[in-house]
C-alpha cells in the first residue's frame, strides 16, 4: 500500500487525503496545531465566496452542499453610496473547528476513509518530509520562507460572536446568510461582515498597513450607514501568495504544493476557499501523474496573470472607489456583466454567468428602523453589548484551553477561575497567541495591534504569574500552558498562603470535582504515568530506561525542586495529610523556567536522588508525564491529595490509566496477614481475607510502594502480560489526548 504524507490539515490537505485514501493509499496528515480548524487566532470564522456548489462538488469528488449556504441578502457600501445586490453564486461557509464548519465536515470524511492525523507535529521545512509529500500549510509564512515562494504581508482587524435565541429572538433568521461589504480609501481591499450557522464574523482587510484610526472610522460608518454595531476587534497580520505574476506553482522540487502555498488564491481574493478545494484534488492527481496534474493546474489558473495585472492597476488608481461607485450607480448592468470576468476559468462556471445578477442603489442611507441588528430599549446595539461583556471574553479563553489539552468542563466554575487568574487585557493577550509554539512579544503585539513594549511587559507579568511559559533569550519567547497540568501547578508551587491563594485553591478544587461530560468520562490517553520503585524490580525481569527515575535524573541538564502543589492546595483548604511537600521536581527547560521565576530552586543530581529516597521512605507514589524521550516533572503523590492519583483512585478500573507496566503478586504461603501493605496502598487494591492478603488486580497501578512495607517479603513485582511504551514526546502525547477528546465528543 503506497504511503503519502500531507503537511497541513486545512481544506486542500484534507481534500487531497480523501482522494488518495479512496485510491487505497495509506495517508498521514501532519498538523502543527493540536486539532483541525486552521489558524487558531483567526477561526472560527465565516466567509462569503463565489461558488457553483454542485459543479465544484462534482469536480472535487466530494459532496460539498452541506457546507455552503446561499447569500440571501447582500448590501454593498462604497464610500457614501449603498447598493443592494442580487446574486445566485455567492455562498456563506464556516471555517474552524466547530461541528458545523467545512473543516469538521472534511475531517469526518477523512476519518471515514482511514486517514491518520498526527496533531501537534510542526513541519518547518520541506526536507523534513519524504519526496512526493504534499505541502498544504496555508497562510503561515514559515513554509513560504523555506520554499522561497514570494508572498505579500496583509493586515486585518477581525471580530466574531456567536448568536443565540435570547439575544435575537425571532429575528435571528433575518441575519443568517447575509453579507455586508464596505469599501473606503484607507484599505485597498475591503471590509465585510457575514453570518452563518449562528456565527457572526467581520473582517477589515488590506494589503497596506491599517491603523486603529482606520478601524474606528470604518466601524463608525458601518454603524451609522448600515446599522451594524460591532466591537471586540483583534488585530492580525499574515501573508498571501500574490506578490509575483508567477506565484502559482504546483511543485517545489519533489514535493507537491496545495492550497495557498501553491498560489491557488486569486489576486482579487474572491476564490480562496474555492481554490483550496480544487487544488486539493489536483495535488492528489500529482501523486500519480505529475504531468497531467500540471496541465490541469495551469488550466485552472489560466486567468491568474490577467487578474494580477488588473489588481495592480486597481491598487494604483487613487480614484478607484469613486469610479466603482459611479459605475455601480449609473451603469449597474455593465457592472454585472463585468463581474463575469471573475469566474472565467473556474470549473462549473459558464462565461455568461455573472457573479452579481442585479444591483440597485439604496437611498437614503438606512434609518434606525432598518438596522440589521435589533436594539435594546435604550437604543444601544445588542451585538455591541454582547461583545463588551467580559464573560464572553472568558468563554473564548475557556474554549482556547480546551483546544490545547485538559481544562475541565466549560461552565460557570471554569469561567470564575479564569476571571480570577486573568485580567481582561491578559485574557485578550492569551487569545492572540498561537497555541503550541513559542512566540516573542513582537509577534503577539502585531496580532493585538498594540505597542510591542507594552505587550512585552504584560507577557512578562503573565509568566511571573504562572500563566505562560517563558524561554529566556534575545528576545524572550512565550508559550501558552495547559490549565491541567501547567497553570494549576504553578499557582501553588511557591507555597504561599495569601487570601488569593486560598480562593484559587477552592476554585481549582471545584473544577477538579466537576465531571468533564454529562455521561461517563472520555477514554483518553493518560497525561501522567506511574514510575515504579526501580529497586523493587528483580534484575531478572528487566527494566526499561523509561521505567527508571534514576535514568531521568542522571540524564537531566537542569533539575529544580518545588513545593508539592497538590498537597499545598489541600492544605490551603484545611485538608492537609501531613506527607512531605518538598518532594516534587522539574527537569530540563521547564526546570530553568521554574528557577528563573521563583517557583522553585535549583538542585544537583545528588540532591535529586536524595529527594526520591525521602519520597519512597514516606510511602509516596512516583509519577511523571507519560512520555518516553524526556520528562518535565517527577511528583511524589498520595492518594488523598494528588490530582493524578485521586482521579485514578475514584475510577472503577485504575489499572487502565496512569499505571506502570508492573503489577504486584502475593505469595500467599509467605504472607502473615499483618496488614502493613493494605494500609500503605493508595489505590485500595489490597485487602485482608482472613490471614491472607488479596489483590484486586484492576486497582493495582504498579507503584511497588506496598512491597517496601511487607516484613515477610511476601510481595513482589512482575511485568504485566501486556506492556506499553509511552508516547515518544510531549507533542505526540498532547496530540493523542486531543484526538481522543475529539473522538469521544468531549471537545
**Could you tell me which residues come within 8 angstroms of residue 398 by beta carbon, excluding any fewer than 6 positions away?**
407, 410, 414, 415, 418
Span 466-474, average pLDDT: 94
SS3 state at 364: coil
**Could you tell me which residues come within 8 angstroms of residue 180 by beta carbon, excluding any fewer than 6 positions away?**
75, 77, 192, 193, 194, 222, 226, 228, 372
CB 263 within 8 A of CB 304: yes
Q: Residue 21: what pLDDT?
A: 95
pLDDT confidence bin for 172, thresholds 50/70/90: very low
Q: Which fold has domain 3-362?
A: FAD/NAD(P)-binding domain (3.50.50)
What's the rounded Cα separation, in Å, for the pair 659 and 641? 18
Q: Residue 22: what pLDDT?
A: 94
Read off the pTM.
0.52
- The three cell numbers of residue 391 are 464573560
In terms of average pLDDT, the best of 167-171, 391-395, 610-614, 648-652 is 610-614
* Pairing state between β 633-637 and 559-562: unpaired
Q: Residue 366: what pLDDT?
A: 44
496, pLDDT greater than 60: yes
Of the candidates 376, 368, 487, 479, the one whose C-alpha atom is nearest the C-alpha of residue 422 is 487
pLDDT confidence bin for 342, thresholds 50/70/90: low
What's the rounded Cα separation, in Å, for the pair 418 and 467? 10
Q: Where in the chain is the domain with CATH 3.50.50.60?
A: 3-362
- The three cell numbers of residue 320 are 478607484
Q: For residue 505, how many C-alpha atoms fall within 13 Å in the half-sphere facing its CB? A: 23
Q: Where in the chain is the domain with CATH 1.10.10.10?
A: 390-512
592, pLDDT greater than 80: yes
Percent of the chain with pLDDT over 90: 38
DSSP code of 434?
Answer: P
pLDDT confidence bin for 387, thresholds 50/70/90: very low
Q: Is 352 exposed, middle or buried (0-12, 13-18, 19+ CB in 10 A)?
A: exposed
Span 8-35, average pLDDT: 92
DSSP characters over 36-104: SSS-TTT-SEEEEEE--HHHHHHHHTS--TTTEEE--EEEEEETTEEEEEE-SSEEEEEESSSTTSHHH
Mean pLDDT of the chain: 81
Of the candidates 78, 88, 12, 82, the one whose C-alpha atom is nearest the C-alpha of residue 50 is 88
Which class is domain 390-512? mainly alpha
634, pLDDT greater than 90: yes
741, pLDDT greater than 80: no
What's the rounded Cα separation, in Å, for the pair 465 and 474? 21
Amino acid at each position: 500500500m503506497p504511503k503519502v504524507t500531507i503537511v497541513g490539515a486545512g481544506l486542500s490537505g484534507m481534500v487531497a487525503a480523501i482522494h488518495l485514501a479512496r485510491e487505497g493509499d495509506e495517508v498521514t496528515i501532519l498538523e502543527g496545531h493540536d486539532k483541525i480548524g486552521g489558524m487558531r487566532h483567526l477561526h472560527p470564522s465565516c466567509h462569503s465566496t463565489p461558488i457553483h456548489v454542485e459543479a465544484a462538488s462534482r469536480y472535487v469528488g466530494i459532496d460539498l452542499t452541506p457546507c455552503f449556504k446561499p447569500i440571501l441578502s447582500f448590501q454593498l457600501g462604497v464610500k457614501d453610496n449603498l447598493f443592494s445586490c442580487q446574486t445566485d453564486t455567492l455562498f456563506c461557509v464556516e471555517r474552524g473547528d466547530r461541528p458545523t464548519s467545512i473543516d469538521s465536515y472534511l475531517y469526518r470524511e477523512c476519518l471515514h476513509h482511514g486517514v491518520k492525523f498526527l496533531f501537534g507535529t510542526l513541519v518547518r521545512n520541506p526536507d523534513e518530509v519524504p519526496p512526493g509529500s504534499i505541502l498544504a500549510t496555508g497562510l503561515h509564512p514559515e513554509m513560504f520562507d523555506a520554499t522561497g515562494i514570494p508572498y505579500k504581508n496583509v493586515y486585518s482587524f477581525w471580530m466574531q460572536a456567536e448568536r443565540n435565541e435570547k439575544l435575537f429572538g425571532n429575528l435571528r433568521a433575518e441575519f443568517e446568510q447575509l453579507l455586508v461589504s464596505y469599501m473606503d480609501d484607507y484599505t485597498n481591499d475591503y471590509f465585510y461582515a457575514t453570518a452563518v450557522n449562528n456565527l457572526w464574523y467581520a473582517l477589515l482587510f488590506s494589503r497596506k498597513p491599517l491603523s486603529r484610526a482606520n478601524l474606528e472610522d470604518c466601524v463608525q460608518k458601518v454603524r451609522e450607514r448600515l446599522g451594524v454595531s460591532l466591537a471586540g476587534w483583534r488585530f492580525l497580520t499574515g501573508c498571501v501568495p500574490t506578490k509575483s505574476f508567477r506565484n502559482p506553482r504546483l511543485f517545489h522540487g519533489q514535493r507537491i504544493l496545495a492550497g495557498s502555498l501553491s498560489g491557488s488564491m486569486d489576486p482579487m481574493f474572491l476564490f480562496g476557499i474555492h481554490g483550496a478545494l480544487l487544488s486539493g484534488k489536483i495535488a492528489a492527481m500529482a501523486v500519480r501523474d505529475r504531468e497531467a496534474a500540471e496541465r490541469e493546474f495551469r488550466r485552472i489558473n489560466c486567468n491568474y496573470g490577467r487578474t494580477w495585472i488588473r489588481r495592480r492597476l486597481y491598487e494604483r488608481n487613487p480614484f478607484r472607489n469613486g469610479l466603482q461607485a459611479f459605475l455601480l450607480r449609473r451603469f449597474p448592468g455593465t457592472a454585472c456583466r463585468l463581474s463575469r470576468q471573475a469566474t472565467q476559468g473556474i470549473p462549473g462556471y459558464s462565461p455568461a454567468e455573472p457573479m452579481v445578477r442585479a444591483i440597485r442603489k439604496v437611498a437614503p442611507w438606512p434609518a434606525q428602523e432598518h438596522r440589521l441588528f435589533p436594539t435594546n430599549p435604550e437604543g444601544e446595539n445588542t451585538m455591541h453589548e454582547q461583545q463588551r461583556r467580559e464573560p464572553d471574553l472568558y468563554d473564548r479563553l475557556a474554549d482556547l484551553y480546551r483546544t490545547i489539552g485538559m481544562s475541565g468542563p466549560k461552565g460557570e466554575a471554569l469561567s470564575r477561575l479564569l476571571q480570577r487568574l486573568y485580567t481582561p487585557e491578559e485574557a485578550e493577550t492569551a487569545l492572540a497567541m498561537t497555541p503550541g509554539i513559542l512566540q516573542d512579544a513582537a509577534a503577539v503585539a502585531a496580532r493585538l495591534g498594540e505597542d510591542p513594549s507594552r505587550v512585552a511587559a504584560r507577557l512578562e507579568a503573565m509568566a511571573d504569574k504562572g500563566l505562560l511559559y517563558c524561554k529566556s533569550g534575545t528576545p524572550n519567547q512565550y508559550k501558552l500552558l495547559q490549565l491541567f497540568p501547567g497553570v494549576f501547578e504553578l499557582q501553588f508551587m511557591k507555597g504561599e498562603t495569601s487570601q488569593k491563594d486560598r480562593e484559587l485553591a477552592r476554585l481549582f478544587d471545584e473544577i477538579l470535582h466537576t465531571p468533564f461530560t454529562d455521561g461517563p468520562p472520555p477514554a483518553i490517553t493518560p497525561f501522567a504515568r506511574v514510575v515504579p520503585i526501580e529497586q523493587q524490580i528483580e534484575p531478572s525481569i528487566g527494566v526499561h530506561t523509561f521505567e527508571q527515575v534514576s535514568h531521568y535524573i542522571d540524564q537531566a541538564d537542569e533539575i529544580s525542586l518545588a513545593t508539592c502543589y497538590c498537597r499545598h492546595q489541600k492544605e490551603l483548604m484545611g485538608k492537609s495529610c501531613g506527607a512531605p511537600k518538598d518532594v516534587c521536581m522539574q527537569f530540563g527547560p521547564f526546570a530553568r523556567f521554574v528557577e528563573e521565576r521563583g517557583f522553585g530552586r535549583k538542585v544537583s543530581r545528588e540532591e535529586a536522588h536524595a529527594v526520591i529516597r525521602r519520597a519512597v521512605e514516606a510511602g509516596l507514589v512516583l509519577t511523571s508525564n507519560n512520555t518516553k524521550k524526556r520528562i518535565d516533572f517527577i511528583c511524589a503523590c498520595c492518594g488523598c491529595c494528588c490530582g493524578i492519583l485521586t482521579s485514578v483512585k475514584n475510577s472503577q478500573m485504575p489499572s487502565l490509566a496512569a499505571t506502570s507496566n508492573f503489577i504486584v503478586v502475593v505469595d500467599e504461603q509467605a504472607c502473615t496477614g499483618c496488614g502493613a501493605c493494605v494500609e500503605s496502598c493508595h489505590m485500595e487494591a489490597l485487602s485482608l481475607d482472613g490471614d491472607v492478603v488479596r489483590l484486586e488486580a484492576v486497582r493495582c497501578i504498579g507503584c511497588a510502594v506496598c512491597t517496601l512495607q511487607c516484613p515477610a517479603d511476601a510481595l513482589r513485582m512482575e511485568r504485566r502480560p501486556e506492556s506499553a511504551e509511552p508516547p515518544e514526546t510531549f507533542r505526540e502525547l498532547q496530540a493523542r489526548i486531543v484526538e481522543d477528546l475529539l473522538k469521544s465528543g468531549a471537545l
